[in-house]
């Protein structure tokens, strides 16, 4: 089965480029026509190790991809102009309207919110979750933060795992009262019950106690923060099988720690001495940016599925490939960008992630649709 699919892909890559580019392609057909096909499978360029089990684990998906391709020559081309951009280390403000600005409380809020930072758009109606609170109209994850702030101002201890472990569906409905029922409310309820129980049982109910209970590292032979999040809180165990191998993504575990770290950096409750091991946060948007920039391309089948808003199942090879190529391509893009930049302006991958995400998160170009609690 596997060999025949690979053979099919090889045959596909030998098709005349006009067939592959006959669909509406945002990058100009001039570019597509002059671009080389992906390097043959045996000569895939691999980024230098950054000490990330996530990046290392994606190799089987990159080497055997059926539907997603990364074009290294295009990465070099994009780096040649993106490398001269500011690409500043993001400085996240403390979420607005918080009840308490004590750093431990802010970190707890960030990590509680992060644990339910999944779809905010109804999969059927495509309506976004929106809330008006204290004169501000917010949508998406901003609306979620507004709801959490509102709950705290109403005296609900939503930072406390003992509360989250037992919160009821009607209570959660009320917390997330907005224009529509919060998308995936049942899944979010289940996540809070799971996360709340672990926090209550081991960390006096609070995420910052979890952070303090281990070394300030993402990875540390199983004791790092990402490793422990994935192990102790199953909802963060964002892995997928691919040809019998386990591919690690750890999107929300990495993103939550990144937000918590980048809000305070050196002076905050979350210290990360190996922050350079962060990969991109493989979501819906970064793949769109890579696809539009011509760094990734898709098989006609996958292109069609995305353009017609069909759901792509969680753990399907298509979903795994989209996400694995996000991690792989951004690692290479960062490498090429750093070749251009002077020593004092070197970047880490989340800065590239930020650059791609901010430019495209409101795009009208369709992104893939997958129903999951992992991103």
Cα of 101 vs its chain's centroid, Å:
26
Q: Given candidates 249, 281, 284, 360, which one binds other proteins under the rule CB under 8 A?
A: 360
- Contact status, residue 249 vs residue 282, Cβ threshold 8 Å: yes
Instruction: Give 308 or 362: the residue with its C-beta nearer to other proteins.
Output: 362
61 CB burial (10 A radius; 0-12, 13-18, 19+): buried
Give the three-class secondary structure for 25.
coil
Q: Residue 49 carries which DSSP code?
A: P
**Shortest reach from residue 292's CB to other proteins, in Å:** 4
Tell me the torsion sign for CA atoms 218, 223, 227, 230. Answer: negative
Structure-token match 């962060």, residue found:
278
Can residue 22 be called a binding residue for other proteins (CB under 8 A)? Answer: no
Residue 1 CB: number of other CB atoms within 10 A? 6
- Residue 102 or 340: which CB sits closer to other proteins? 340
* Spatial CA neighbour of 25 closest among 285, 291, 287: 291
Name the residue nearer to other proteins (CB basis): 321 or 336.
336
- Give the residue from 57, 43, 25, 2 showing the smallest Cα distance to 277: 57
Q: Which of 13, 27, 209, 338 binds other proteins (CB under 8 A)?
A: 27
Quick check: 285 and 360 in contact, CB under 8 A?
yes
Single residue of 162, 174, 245, 341 touching other proteins by CB under 8 A: 341
CA distance 55 to 275: 14
User: Side-chain half-sphere of 3: how many Cα atoms within 13 Å?
Assistant: 0
Please select the residue that binds other proteins; options are 4, 30, 101, 308, rule is CB under 8 A. 30
User: And the tokens for 231?
Assistant: 């192990």
For the window 283-312, what string marks contact with other proteins as x by the rule CB under 8 A?
-----x---xxx------------------
- Regarding 348 and contact with other proteins (CB under 8 A), the answer is no
By beta-carbon proximity to other proteins, the closer residue of 94 and 239 is 94
Give the separation between CA 219 and CA 273, rounded to whole angstroms.
10
With residues binned 3-state (H G I as helix, E B as strand, rest as coil), the percentages for the chain, rounded to 5, are 50, 5, 40
Among 22, 34, 96, 223, binds other proteins (CB under 8 A): 34
Q: Binders of other proteins: how many residues, by CB under 8 A?
A: 34
- Does 155 bind other proteins (CB under 8 A)? Our answer is no
Task: Determine, following the binding rule CB under 8 A, whether residue 72 of this chain makes contact with other proteins.
Answer: no
Closest CB 55 distance from other proteins, rounded Å = 25
96 makes contact with other proteins (CB under 8 A): no
Distance CA 202, CA 190 (A): 19
Minimum CB distance to other proteins, residue 99 (Å): 25
Q: Does 123 bind other proteins (CB under 8 A)?
A: no
Identify which of residues 34 and 96 has a Cβ nearer to other proteins in the complex. Answer: 34
39 binds other proteins (CB under 8 A): no
Other Cβ atoms less than 10 A from the Cβ of 292: the count is 17
Q: How large is the C-alpha radius of gyration of the chain? A: 21
Told to check if 7 binds other proteins by CB under 8 A, we report no
Member of 10, 19, 22, 28 binding other proteins (CB under 8 A): 28
| Site for other proteins, residues 160 to 219, rule: CB under 8 A | none
Cβ proximity to other proteins: between 26 and 51 the closer is 26
Per DSSP, 160 falls in state -
Minimum CB–partner distance for residue 136 and other proteins (Å): 16
> Is there binding between residue 17 and other proteins (CB under 8 A)?
no
> Site residues (CB under 8 A) for other proteins?
25-28, 30-31, 34, 73, 76-78, 80-81, 83-87, 288, 292-294, 340-342, 345, 355, 359-365
């Amino acid at each position: 089965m596997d060999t025949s699919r690979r053979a099919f892909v090889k045959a596909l890559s030998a098709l005349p480029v006009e067939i592959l580019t006959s669909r509406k392609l945002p990058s100009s057909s001039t570019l597509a026509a002059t671009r080389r096909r992906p390097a043959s499978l045996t000569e895939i360029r691999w980024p230098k190790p950054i000490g990330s089990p996530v990046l290392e684990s994606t190799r089987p998906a990159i080497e055997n991809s059926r539907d997603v391709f990364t074009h290294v020559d295009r990465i070099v081309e994009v780096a040649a102009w993106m490398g001269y951009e500011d690409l500043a280390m993001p400085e996240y403000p403390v979420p607005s309207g918080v009840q308490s600005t004590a750093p431990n409380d802010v970190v707890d809020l960030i990590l509680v919110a992060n644990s339910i930072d999944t779809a905010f758009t109804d999969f059927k109606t495509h309506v976004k979750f929106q809330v008006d609170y204290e004169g501000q109209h917010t949508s998406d994850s901003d609306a979620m933060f507004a709801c959490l702030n509102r709950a705290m101002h109403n005296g609900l201890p939503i930072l406390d795992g003992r509360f989250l472990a037992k919160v009821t569906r009607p209570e959660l409905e009320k917390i997330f009262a907005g224009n529509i029922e919060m998308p995936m409310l049942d899944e979010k309820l289940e996540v809070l019950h799971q996360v709340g129980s672990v926090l209550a049982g081991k960390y006096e109910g609070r995420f910052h106690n979890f952070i303090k209970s281990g070394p300030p590292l993402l990875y540390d032979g199983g004791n790092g923060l990402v490793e422990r999040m994935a192990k102790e809180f199953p909802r963060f165990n964002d892995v997928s099988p691919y040809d019998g191998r386990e591919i690690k993504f750890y999107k929300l575990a990495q993103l939550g720690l990144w937000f918590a770290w980048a809000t305070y950096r050196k002076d905050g409750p979350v210290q990360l001495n190996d922050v350079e091991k962060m990969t991109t946060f493989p979501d819906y948007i970064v793949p769109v940016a890579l696809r539009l920039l011509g760094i990734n391309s898709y098989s006609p089948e996958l292109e069609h599925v995305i353009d017609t808003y069909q759901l792509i199942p969680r753990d399907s090879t298509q979903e795994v490939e989209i996400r694995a190529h996000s991690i792989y391509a951004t690692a290479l893009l960062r490498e090429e960008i750093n070749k251009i930049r002077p020593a004092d302006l070197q970047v880490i991958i989340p800065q590239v992630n930020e650059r791609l995400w901010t430019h495209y998160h409101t795009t009208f170009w369709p992104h893939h649709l997958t129903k999951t609690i992992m991103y």
